[in-house]
């Protein structure tokens, strides 16, 4: 899509004279895309990395959609590679025209072009500045071989010295710090506000901004504003109907769902077949609502000059956000400009977009003043768009050691809550504070994601060869919480279930987990990944429990096999001892960055498996800090071995989402190996293990 929309070399690459400037529509969300892009340009154009700059990503620049789905390298990376390779050939021709020889006489080195017999090498950047502006990028050119220089993470020196500026660190002259005061929960509305509150706050140089039930404070002193939230809260009377407390898993059924048969990863409108018969092995797998829980609460900086809004946001989709904010404020789209600025890693649609609207609402009330809005930890934990609770019903028919048929029905609320264009103002209605303004923009009804492996059905289709499959997506509405995209979408639950089932079936078939999986795989690259894992695992000392899992992300991207060794303490706590990750992500651009994504994904999956669960009662969300929503910490990080099967002949596949699903499943399988307990719902807390043991 990227090259189709932006076909010219100059769309992707330019020069400011001193440096090469790369343009991209993909943003850094902790996945190091800018480091990988710089490396591509470095490989193709032989320029030192310090002379390669990645231009700020703004709504005035390239629109590559949302930065998500592990597609940054496939989209932006492939386009940039084509542009750079084309530019290399073109610049070589310019060198020939200027100083003779034939193209193959010229060699590229460290920012210069030279050929035998030439006294003065030609500077690459000067030739690039003369390049034909209408040059179209040719995606068929062969890439240069991988660079020998050590990969370098952009910004690492600034990070370790504290000089790196994250969005919450921005500071502009005359800037005001802002906070919001949220209602007790999503269904509450502001009934009354004590009139004297605004005066009391004004005495402390703090402005109160109100629009319906949306409340915010802004002032010059950040701590004074933070403290003033308590004053404001005391002045509010809320109408607070109880949040529904019924069991959400009991509502994840076909009864109220919109149902879609899924074939080859693609859902369709149409009749849903009756369940398969003679399926003897059945199991239901579940996961609760989850948080993204970025380490930095979301933030945004906005300034309104009376006619236009300029916003800095860490949103993954600045173009769609720009349109949604413009509609929210009844402004033309070109009156809103959003520039991406990094904040902490986000792992999907977190509070970034909501924060941008909030900053805009406050900025518009205080013209000519930069507004830096930050959420508190409780705001982020309590109000970010949650990853939906999910259930997966599985049934399989095993004949002579082979799976003859599988029936898989997945149940979930939508994973698609990003503010993007759609019918009935779906964009603005997905921004949180619009629901509290007067007039309010009520939450939109979720539209099913019908894309291949697009939503809850991501990896619902087993990557294994199974003669008969019945796969159903069930979109359930009317559940208690606002939901959206978390890294991997439905994959984490589907792979948790399917790979647990594979172990259950392997045991029934009397086969070991490796052999049983291989029997059902045709793809040589998948088998190679499993074989390598088996070889590595054989040489690793075992703990109390050992488990494996395999997946190919979206059945089309990175192939990943994971082995985990765990111990169980006397207090039923899972201790992660060792993990092995083997992955084939095609051509590797930044091996360090790839390994980091695989390790990081494994640990996020482990955190989901062991700890993560949103809780609430009738009064609101109760998991609003790191004690009530615990995550994996250093003291339970296993020794992790990552092995990448590099395949330079194949296109690169993103790997940011390859490991969480297999990590969860491998831990569940290791737990079963250690204790005989098959766990069907995350997280595997000591309480959950004890309950399962007593029930079993």
Give contact residues for other proteins (rule: CB under 8 A): 29-32, 151, 153, 155-157, 159-166, 168-169, 171, 221-224, 226, 293-297, 342-345, 347, 376-377, 592, 596, 599-604, 625-627, 631, 633-637, 639-640
Closer to other proteins at the Cβ: 154 or 420?
154
Place of tokens 């600025």: 341
Distant-in-sequence, close-in-space partners of 608: CB < 8 Å, separation ≥ 6:
287, 290, 492, 660, 664, 682, 683
C-beta of 29: minimal distance to other proteins in Å? 7
HSE-CB of 666 using CA atoms within 13 angstroms: 32
- Are 356 and 320 spatial neighbours (Cβ–Cβ below 8 Å)? no
Residue 190: φ, ψ to 5°: -80, 120
Q: Which is nearer to other proteins, 114 or 659 (CB)?
A: 659
Closest distance between other proteins and the C-beta of residue 491, in Å? 17
DSSP β-bridge partners for residue 548: 563
- In the complex with other proteins, the residue whose CB is nearer, 490 or 656, is 656
CA–CA gap between residue 497 and residue 564 (Å, rounded): 17
Q: Are 39 and 49 in contact (CB under 8 A)?
A: yes
For residues 79 and 456, what is the distance between their CA atoms, to the nearest angstrom? Answer: 29
C-beta of residue 484 within 8 angstroms of C-beta of residue 414: yes
Strands (E), 274-433: 281-287, 299-304, 309-313, 336-340, 371-374, 390-399, 402-412
User: How far is 211 from 222, CA to CA, in rounded Å?
Assistant: 22
Sheet with 214-219, strands from edge to edge, namely: 207-211, 214-219, 176-181, 371-374, 299-304, 309-313, 336-340
Residue number, 205 or 625, with CB nearest to other proteins: 625
| Cα 382 to Cα 188, 246, 264, 614, 634, distances in angstroms | 14, 19, 37, 9, 25
Residue 242 CB neighbours (<10 A): 11
Q: Which residues pair with 565 in a beta bridge?
A: 546, 578
Q: Which is nearer to other proteins, 537 or 598 (CB)?
A: 598
Give the nearest distance from C-beta 31 to other proteins in angstroms.
8
Pairing relation of β-strands 281-287 and 336-340? unpaired
Nearer to other proteins, 296 or 336 (CB): 296
CA distances from residue 436 to 99, 185, 215, 336, 433 in whole angstroms, order as listed: 67, 11, 9, 22, 5
């Amino acid at each position: 899509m990227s090259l189709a929309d932006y076909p010219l070399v100059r769309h992707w690459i330019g020069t400011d004279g001193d440096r090469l400037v790369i343009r991209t529509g993909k943003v850094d969300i902790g996945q190091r895309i800018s480091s990988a892009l710089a490396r591509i340009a470095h490989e193709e154009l032989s320029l030192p990395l310090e002379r390669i700059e990645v231009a700020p990503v703004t709504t005035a620049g390239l629109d590559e959609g949302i930065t998500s789905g592990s597609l940054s390298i496939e989209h932006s990376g492939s386009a940039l590679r084509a542009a750079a390779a084309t530019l290399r050939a073109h610049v070589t021709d310019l060198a020939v025209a200027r100083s003779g020889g034939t193209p193959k006489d010229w060699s590229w080195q460290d920012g210069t072009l030279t050929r035998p017999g030439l006294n003065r090498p030609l500077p690459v950047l000067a030739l690039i500045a003369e390049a034909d502006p209408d040059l179209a990028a040719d995606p068929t050119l062969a890439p240069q071989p991988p660079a020998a220089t050590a990969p370098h993470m952009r910004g690492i020196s600034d990070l370790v010295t504290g000089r790196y500026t994250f969005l919450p660190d921005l500071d502009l002259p005359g800037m005001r710090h802002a906070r919001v005061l949220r209602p007790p929960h999503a269904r509450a509305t502001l009934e009354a506000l004590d009139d004297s509150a605004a005066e009391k706050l004004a005495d402390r140089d703090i402005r109160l901004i109100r629009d319906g039930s949306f409340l915010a404070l802004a002032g010059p002193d950040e701590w004074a504003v933070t403290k003033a939230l308590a004053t404001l809260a005391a002045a509010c009377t809320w109408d607070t109907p109880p949040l529904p407390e019924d069991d959400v898993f009991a509502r994840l059924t076909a009864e109220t769902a919109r149902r879609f048969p899924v074939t080859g990863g693609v859902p369709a409108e149409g009749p849903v077949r009756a369940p398969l018969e003679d399926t003897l092995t059945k199991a239901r797998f579940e996961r609760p609502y989850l948080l993204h829980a970025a380490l930095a609460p979301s933030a945004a900086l906005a300034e309104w000059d009376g006619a236009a809004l300029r916003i800095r946001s860490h949103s993954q989709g600045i173009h769609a956000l720009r349109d949604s904010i413009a509609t929210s404020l009844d402004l033309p789209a070109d009156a809103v400009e959003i520039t991406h600025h990094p904040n902490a890693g986000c792992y999907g649609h977190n509070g970034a977009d909501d924060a941008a609207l909030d900053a805009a609402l406050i900025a518009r009330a205080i013209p000519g003043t930069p507004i830096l809005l930050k959420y508190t930890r409780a705001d982020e934990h309590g109000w970010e768009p949650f990853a939906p609770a999910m259930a997966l019903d599985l049934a399989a028919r095993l004949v002579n050691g082979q799976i003859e048929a599988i029936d898989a029905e997945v149940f979930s609320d939508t994973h698609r809550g990003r503010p993007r264009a759609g019918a009935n103002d779906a964009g603005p209605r997905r921004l949180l504070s619009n629901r509290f303004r007067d007039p309010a923009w009520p939450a939109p009804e979720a539209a099913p994601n019908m894309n291949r492996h697009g939503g809850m059905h991501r990896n619902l289709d087993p990557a294994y060869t199974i003669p008969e499959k019945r796969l159903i997506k069930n979109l359930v509405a009317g559940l208690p919480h606002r939901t959206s995209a978390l890294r991997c979408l439905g994959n984490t639950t589907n792979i948790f279930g399917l790979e647990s089932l594979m172990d259950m079936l392997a045991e029934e078939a009397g086969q070991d987990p490796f052999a049983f999986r291989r029997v059902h795989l045709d793809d040589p690259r998948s088998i190679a990944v499993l074989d390598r894992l088996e070889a590595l695992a054989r040489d690793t000392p075992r703990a109390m429990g050992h488990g494996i899992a395999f997946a190919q992300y979206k059945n089309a991207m990175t192939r990943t096999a994971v082995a985990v060794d765990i111990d169980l303490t006397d207090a039923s706590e899972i201790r992660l001892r060792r993990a092995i990750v083997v992955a084939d992500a095609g051509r590797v651009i930044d091996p360090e960055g790839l390994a980091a994504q695989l390790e990081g994904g494994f640990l996020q999956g482990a955190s989901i498996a062991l700890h993560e669960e949103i809780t609430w009662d009738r009064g609101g969300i109760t998991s609003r800090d790191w004690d009530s929503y615990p995550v994996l910490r250093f003291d339970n990080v296993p020794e992790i071995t990552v092995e990448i099967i590099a395949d330079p002949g194949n296109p690169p596949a993103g790997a940011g989402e390859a490991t969480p699903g297999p990590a969860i499943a491998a831990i569940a399988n290791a737990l079963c190996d250690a204790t005989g307990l098959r766990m069907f719902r995350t997280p595997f807390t000591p309480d959950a293990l004890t309950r399962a043991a007593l029930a079993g």
